[in-house]
Amino acid sequence: MEIKNLFPEIIEIKNEELREKVVKSLEKAISLGGWTEEELHRIPFTLLIPELVNSDLSVKISIIDHIRAVTQMCITTYERYEFLNLADNLNKDELIAGGLLHDVGKFVEYEKDPTGKIVQNKAGKILRHPAQGLEIVYEFNLPLSVRQAIIFHSKEGDKIKRLTEVEIIHRCDFLCFEPVRKIYGY
């Protein structure tokens, strides 16, 4: 499985060391989860919208689609900040790395039940993907902003002072969730 083909946005990270750490983190999470490349496209990005899963167990928006869309929104946000002459305040590489890794824990939070349905596993229920994601990447010594994106992009970070890059990732993540939920009537 070629991680750079699965997530083409990785090549937008200019710093080679960070780029490789992102590849290794995703590789490790996917291998810990035991997913094949085909199965990855059958993981819904959330379990809160059952309609995302079709009767043949294919999905309308996979976790891969979601991670890519969030990262693309982060890149577009960076470009709008360039328009506003604010981009110097952002680390573009870390913003992209954080977008790509914010849900890295979901590859271990979910598992396939005997019927092939994707469910949250026991550790996933207790720890959730933000904490599980931080556990996975500990050995790669990622920048603090990327680590904060993993552990605090979701509700866990609501009482935390998010860094600017993480604030953007958090909002792009919710843009790829709340309106989708409304579209499906929740």
Q: Least distance in Å: CB of 112 to Fe ion?
A: 20
Q: Determine which residue in the list 9, 93, 165, 173 makes contact with Fe ion, applying CB under 5 A.
A: 173
Q: What is the DSSP string of the chain?
A: --HHHH-GGGGG---HHHHHHHHHHHHHHHHHHT--HHHHTTSBS-SS-GGGB-TTS-BSSBHHHHHHHHHHHHHHHHHHHHHTT-GGGS-HHHHHHHHHHTTTTHHHHEEE-TTS-EEE-HHHHHHHHHHHHHHHHGGG---HHHHHHHHHSSGGGTTS---HHHHHHHHHHHHTTHHHHHHTT-
Residue with tokens 């933000």: 130
Of residues 52 through 111, those in contact with Fe ion by CB under 5 A are 103
Residue with tokens 């790509």: 100
Please identify, using beta-carbon distances, which residue of 48 and 86 lies nearer to Fe ion: 48
Q: Least distance in Å: CB of 46 to Fe ion?
A: 8
Of residues 120 through 139, those in contact with Fe ion by CB under 5 A are none
Please identify, using beta-carbon distances, which residue of 9 and 103 lies nearer to Fe ion: 103
Q: Which stretch binds Fe ion (CB under 5 A): 8-16, 23-31, 119-127, 168-176?
A: 168-176
Please identify, using beta-carbon distances, which residue of 93 and 109 lies nearer to Fe ion: 109
Q: Least distance in Å: CB of 24 to Fe ion?
A: 20
Q: Least distance in Å: CB of 102 to Fe ion?
A: 5
**Whole-angstrom distance, CA of residue 168 vs CA of residue 98:** 10
Q: Least distance in Å: CB of 147 to Fe ion?
A: 16
Binding residues for Fe ion, rule CB under 5 A, total 2
Please identify, using beta-carbon distances, which residue of 130 and 143 lies nearer to Fe ion: 130
Please identify, using beta-carbon distances, which residue of 87 and 174 lies nearer to Fe ion: 174
Which residues would be at the binding site for Fe ion (CB under 5 A)?
103, 173
